[in-house]
Amino acid sequence: MSVITLFNSLGRREEVFKPIKPGQVGIYTCGLTVYDRGHIGNFRSFIFADVLRRMLVATGYTVTQVTNITDVGHLVSDADEGEDKLEKGARREGKTAWQVADEYTQLYLSDMKRVNLLPPTVMPKATDHIAEQIAMIQAMEDKGFTYTISDGVYFDTAKLPGYGRLSGQKTEDKAEGARVGVNEDKKHPSDFALWKFSPADEQRHMEWESPWGKGFPGWHIECSAMAEKYLGLPFDVHTGGVDHIAVHHENEIAQAQAARDTLEANYWLHNEFLLIDGGKMSKSLNNTYSLDDLAAKGISPLAYRYLVLGAHYKSQLNFTWEAAQGAQNAMNKLVDTVRLWDKPTEVDQALVDEFMEHVRNDLDTPGALAVMWKLIGDEKLPSSVKAATLLALDEVLGLALEDVVGRPLKISSEVQAVLDDRERARLAKDFAASDKLRADLAKLGFLVDDTPEGQRLRELR
């Protein structure tokens, strides 16, 4: 098997990747908290995990990818305190937490398809795994790692030697987050909730009986319990964003160690953040863009994927509308070029090898894209070989090029009819109708420009 180097956040800095079972890899990807629409920052994280998986498959491994759906227990402060995000979302929308979870899960699934993520092997929901979470908490309790205070059952981090090794912090250094809802009876600031009791003065939408009282699981326990169920502990690779290192992943590691006396995962890979115009995304700045917000400005989900691939996952990526338009222009050029190629024949293996060397080197996707453009610009290779080779590269890039390579654009009669209606509307100077027809074309995946020569149609891919 070819050598794969992965930059591991835990322990040694750089390692030759070796899975636990020969030929097989288990990946656990921290998925979306479904209290709101997933934003493009979240999708940066999921695209990174998807490329990791595709690289392993292209190398010959059978991959099991578990991507969870967090539908209970994730509290508003990343420092693990405050209100449950799902209950907050329910109040915001005047619905039940169950309805909110269901609605955003559906959007999550369709957004995953739009950026061409391979469907995870399993997508378990936290609320479907309450029994597994309770069992794991019981195992920790039996071994003396827990204590109970007024609002819940907590993990006693002082009992676990080595707590904090992923983020390199010592328990005494761990700053308390925003102090909203911090229970002052916690023995130590880094102690975290395993099971929280339902508040006496308020009816939660989501709550369950447990050996400790009615309530709901803490956020971290879902990932350890579901990873154990679907991958077994330890498993190979855990992915997520860098914001999860200090609290969420540290606590997952602690739970696996305390409950099962094992590592949780052998490799921890964390993507850096997507920034917007050089700063943080936030609701108050109104810049937590979704894929729909991008599409409304003529940036397709696949162009967004291309933008993400253009940066190394360990580097921050600054989203600007100019950069997004640059990615869209690159996609347009790519698609326009490859549609005119001949049907795929044989692969240029040397080029595929060169490309794979980049992705196997800690997912160097910018380097891999450079190899792709070298192929596109090659004037000596027959286009049928270029087509076959590009499709091989796209197994890893995931830009859905199989739909366009060697397939000239055909305008359906439906699209042509809208275009003709719009031409008539323009001649009649009915600009309201012409704008509506432009929006109809956008829904069909086309942008239209008005030029002196008439309407110019452009496919949005």
Contact stretch for ligand AMP (CB under 6 A) within 29-37, 170-178, 346-354, 390-398: 29-37
Q: Identify the residue among 34, 223, 309, 369 touching Zn ion (CB under 5 A).
A: 223
Q: Identify the residue among 19, 26, 41, 234 touching ligand AMP (CB under 6 A).
A: 41
Q: How far apart are CA 59 and CA 203, in angstroms?
A: 51
CA distances 150 to 75, 84, 197, 212, Å, are 17, 17, 8, 11
**Dihedral, 321, 326, 332, 337 alpha carbons, nearest 10:** -170
Tell me the residue number closest to ligand AMP, measured at CB. Answer: 241
Q: Does 288 bind ligand AMP (CB under 6 A)?
A: no
Q: Does 45 bind ligand AMP (CB under 6 A)?
A: yes
**Long-range pairs, 352-355, Cβ under 8 A, ≥24:** 352/389, 352/392, 352/393, 355/393, 355/396
Residue 40 or 137: the one with the smaller Cβ distance to ligand AMP is 40
| Angle of CA points 430, 434, 437, to nearest 5° | 145
Segment holding 451, helix H or strand E: strand 446-451
CB-based burial of residue 120 (10 Å sphere; 0-12 exposed, 13-18 middle, 19+ buried)? buried
Q: Does 273 bind ligand AMP (CB under 6 A)?
A: yes
Q: Which does 243 bind (CB under 5 to 8 A by kind): ligand AMP, Zn ion, none?
A: ligand AMP
Q: Which does 271 bind (CB under 5 to 8 A by kind): Zn ion, ligand AMP, none?
A: ligand AMP
Q: Does 37 bind ligand AMP (CB under 6 A)?
A: no
DSSP secondary structure, 115-169, as one string? TTPPPPSB--BGGG-HHHHHHHHHHHHHTT-EEEETTEEEE-GGGSTTTTTTTT-
Q: Does 30 bind Zn ion (CB under 5 A)?
A: yes
Q: Does 196 bind ligand AMP (CB under 6 A)?
A: no
Q: Identify the residue among 67, 266, 271, 383 touching ligand AMP (CB under 6 A).
A: 271
Contact stretch for Zn ion (CB under 5 A) within 83-91, 107-115, 222-230, 307-315: 222-230
- Residue whose pair of structure tokens reads 């690289």 in the numeric block: 55
Residue 34 or 396: the one with the smaller Cβ distance to Zn ion is 34
- Contacts of ligand AMP in 228-257 (CB under 6 A): 240-241, 243-244
Provide the binding-site residues for ligand AMP, judged by CB under 6 A: 30, 32-33, 41-42, 44-45, 70, 240-241, 243-244, 271, 273-274, 281
